[in-house]
A and B are shown apart, each in its own frame.
Chain A
Amino acid sequence: ILNVEQSPQSLHVQEGDSTNFTCSFPSSNFYALHWYRWETAKSPEALFVMTLNGDEKKKGRISATLNTKEGYSYLYIKGSQPEDSATYLCAFMSTNAGKSTFGDGTTLTVKP
Chain B
Amino acid sequence: NAGVTQTPKFQVLKTGQSMTLQCAQDMNHEYMSWYRQDPGMGLRLIHYSVGAGITDQGEVPNGYNVSRSTTEDFPLRLLSAAPSQTSVYFCASKIMTGSPDTQYFGPGTRLTVL
Contacts and interface: CB of A to CB of B under 8 A. Distances in A.
Contacts of A1: 59
Interface residues of A, number: 25
Interface in B44-77: 44-45, 48, 50, 58-59
A69 B105 CA distance: 30
Contacts of B43: 44, 89, 91, 102
Main secondary structure of the interface of B (DSSP, over half): loop
Contacts of B58: 99
Contacts of B105: 43-45
A99 B33 contact: yes
Interface residues of B, number: 25
Interface in A24-50: 31-32, 34, 36, 42-46, 49
Nearest to A46: B102
Contacts of B107: 42-43
A100 B103 contact: yes
A46 B93 CA distance: 12
A49 B100 contact: yes
Given A1-B59, A44-B105, A93 B41 contact: no
A99 B59 CA distance: 11
Contacts of A91: 43, 102
11 contacts: A36-B102, A44-B90, A44-B105, A49-B101, A91-B102, A98-B97, A99-B33, A100-B45, A100-B103, A101-B45, A102-B42
